[in-house]
Amino acid sequence: MPIVTFTSDFGLNDYYVALIKGSMLSENPSLNIIDISHNINNYDIVQAAFILKNAFESFPKGTIHILSVNSFYNKKQKFLAIRYNEHYFIGPDNGVFSLLFDETPKDIYKLNFVNKGTFPIKTIFAKTVGHISKDLPFNEVGIPIKEIVERITFQPVISSSQIRGSVIHIDKYENVVVNISRKLFEQIWEERGYEITFRRNNPIVKIYSNYYDVPIGETLCRFNSADFLEISINMGKASSMLGLKIEDTVQIDFIELG
């Protein structure tokens, strides 16, 4: 039973998600369609890439991933089918794939469909999923291309004694995710002391493993399931209570212990 994941900014109050699912099932009734999220902020390809990037590798090899955020079918925007690390991806060429992958994939195909009807992406997704899920040759899915639209993202600024990152995601619980990975932290750390500062809040000098490692209502830092630095409040809402928003700066200063 072919697995298809679906990530979009359509929400669940309208018929768009059901329309696309029904079209895909009409192409191949044996599909197992898994929703990752349809609550991506409108047109927010950064959020969409972050969520799918941290979810897709949990699925079996051969899974097809539909990504529909800021998806408009017109002469200027292409739709792509991509094979990457034995997974398949279908979505618009609007920069989201440059955020999703650590390197440009080798197998990229531009999809070519006649723009019929008022919601043509329904046909694009359904026909492409049908092609891939029926094990038809992937190189016949479209026209091969070598480049995708690039979207530049904020990267941490590092020195021997400091990492300056930024907020990249705020989840439902208002935990604040920063673009500082555990790997980067450990590369610079060298087991020195450190202070994590943001806005005008008091520095945090310890990274914990779990929310419950601190009393209820206390602020903490931890590395989350995606191995990114997270600022949280145990049983609280860190974003609103600490005044943190997307793209705000979070800084780690490393201190030599005396």
User: What's the pLDDT at 74?
Assistant: 60
- Separation of alpha carbons 67 and 49, rounded Å: 9
Helix/strand/coil for 186: helix
Report residue 75's pLDDT band, with 50, 70 and 90 as the boundaries. Answer: low
Residue range 71-93: mean pLDDT, rounded:
87
pLDDT exceeds cutoff 90 at 200 = no
Mean pLDDT, the chain, as a whole number? 92
Burial environment of residue 27 by CB neighbours within 10 A (0 to 12, 13 to 18, 19 or more): middle
Scored b (16 or more CB within 10 A) or e, 128-140 reads bbbbbbeeeeeee
Q: Could you tell me the pLDDT band of residue 258, with boundaries at 50, 70 and 90?
A: low
Tokens in use for 63? 């899974």
Q: Does domain 157-255 have CATH number 2.40.30.90?
A: yes
Query: What is the per-residue pLDDT for 117?
Result: 67
Q: What is the pLDDT of residue 140?
A: 95
Residue 46 CA to residue 194 CA, distance in Å, equals 29
Bigger pLDDT: 112 or 58? Answer: 58
Domain 3-145 is found in CATH 3.40.50.720 = no
pLDDT at 113: 74
d(CA 87, CA 83): 6
Mean pLDDT of 85-93: 96
Residue 201 has pLDDT above 90, yes or no: no
Q: Which of 62-66, 70-74, 126-130 has the lowest mean pLDDT?
A: 70-74
Please give the pLDDT value at position 114.
64
| Chain mean position to CA 19 | 24
Per-domain residue ranges for the chain? 3-145, 157-255
CA atoms of 191 and 42, how far apart (whole Å): 41
Q: What's the pLDDT tens digit per position in 105-163?
A: 999 999 987 666 677 888 999 999 999 999 999 999 999 999 999 988 778 999 999 99
Between 120 and 98, the higher pLDDT residue: 98
- Distance between CA atoms of 207 and 211, rounded to whole angstroms? 11
Q: Going along 14-68, which residue ranges are E strands?
A: 32-37, 64-68
